[in-house]
Amino acid sequence: MNKCPFLKIQFVLTALCLSALLLTNSGCNRKKHEKEETKYLVTSPLKTDQNLMRSYVAQINAHQHIELRAFERGYLQNILVDEGQLVKKGEKIFELMPAIKKAEFNKAKAEVDLAEIEYKNAQSLARKKVVSKNEVALSKARYDKVVADLDLAKLRLDFTEIKAPFDGLIVRFKVRLGSLLEEGELLSTLSDNSTVWVYFNVSESDYLDIKTGENGASTLPVHLKMANGKMFKFEGKIDTIEADFNNETGNIAFRASFPNPEGLLRHGETGSVEVPFPVKGALVIPQKSTFEILDKKFVYILDENYKVKSHEITIADELPHLYIVSSGLKETDKIILDGIGKVELGQKISPDYQDPKKVISTLNLPAE
């Protein structure tokens, strides 16, 4: 049997395999070379002073918010304002039926006039030695009594009119015209929200940071984020801190006051207070330069030969688009900023270094 054709075929197949293997190795070498030659954006951590903003759930109260109640029992004869209306100090809001109280006042006034005449007559007779000094003293006592009764009748008549003790907004009415009111019955509430008091609870550690800061709590500016997510345009300040910590929550209550000249904020609203915490010499890096493995943060850094290594870092706090690093990095380290999903450990790269100040000033993307 002639084996030559089979030998020829075997030779051809062997040659093809060797060619394919050479081509594959050549392609791998080219890819490796291309990977080594790829440029990546590189920067360094930046040490700078920062303000951390911490947010606390807040309750908004008008700085004056009172209940308006009936002083006397009687029918509600007039409602002189509307719900939600701004009233001025001294303005009449409600009027209870005053006819009876007015009659009592007129009766008391007439008795005062009569007693005054009798007292003056007794004085005149005493000067003529007609009546004794005791008669004059009794007349004076009767006069003083009816004057006191007149004052009481005047007070009860005044109680039929309920007036605003300060400028404020009338809240919803609790009664309607013609209602028979009992003494002390709630009619409405009056709210002065020209300044609002905002209450929020602070943890013990944050309390200590605030109190031991450079300027303390009294001069620390605070900002209010409203329920719609927008910032209230006026800045507030911390007025007071409650005396004791809550043993159940470990928090302490703060009160901040905000000017409210436009009347935007109302009693009972909610929001969140943002308080700045100054941090001196914070080491910051862009969030997008980090990656996460099993809830731990890492960055890629370059060694002296421009080879890629990974470093675990500890995040102290978070800023918009930035992390404050407490450990794992130095100012002199070179970290890969872009393309961290493409590089490999041990890979040698060609770095395109950018100044960290420039990187941070133009940063507008969240972490990948």
Q: Where are the domains of the chain?
A: 38-50+281-361, 53-62+192-279, 71-94+163-184, 99-159
- pTM of this structure: 0.65
Asked if residue 46 lies in contact with residue 321, where contact means CB atoms within 8 angstroms, the answer is: no
pLDDT for 79:
92
Q: How far is CA 223 from CA 58, 232, 273, in A?
A: 11, 7, 6
> What is the distance of C-alpha 136 from the center of its chain?
70
Around Cβ 244, how many Cβ atoms within 10 Å? 7
CATH number of 99-159: 1.10.287.470
In angstroms, the CA 111 to CA 153 distance is 12
38-50+281-361 CATH fold: 2.40.420
DSSP 288: G
CATH superfamily, domain 53-62+192-279, is: Efflux pump adaptor protein, beta barrel domain (2.40.30.170)
Q: What pLDDT, on a 0 to 100 scale, did the predictor assign at position 277?
A: 80
**For the chain, which ranges sit under pLDDT 50?**
1, 3-4, 6-7, 12, 17-18, 21-24, 26-36, 365-368
Distance of CA 357 to the CA centre of its chain: 31
Q: Please tell me the predicted confidence (pLDDT) of residue 127.
A: 84
Per residue in 126-185, pLDDT (tens digit) is: 888 777 888 888 888 998 999 998 888 888 888 888 999 999 999 999 999 988 888 899
- H-helix or E-strand containing 204? helix 204-211
| pLDDT at residue 329, as a whole number | 92
pLDDT at position 34, please? Answer: 45
- Sheet strands (E) in the chain: 39-43, 46-69, 74-79, 86-87, 92-96, 161-163, 168-170, 180-181, 186-203, 221-226, 236-241, 251-259, 270-286, 290-293, 296-302, 308-319, 322-327, 335-336, 350-353
CATH 3.30.1330.10 fits 71-94+163-184, yes or no: no
Closest residue by Cα to residue 299 from 245, 337, 331: 337
Domain pair 71-94+163-184 / 99-159, same fold: no
Give residue-wise pLDDT tens across range 287-325: 999 999 988 999 999 998 889 999 899 998 888 888 999
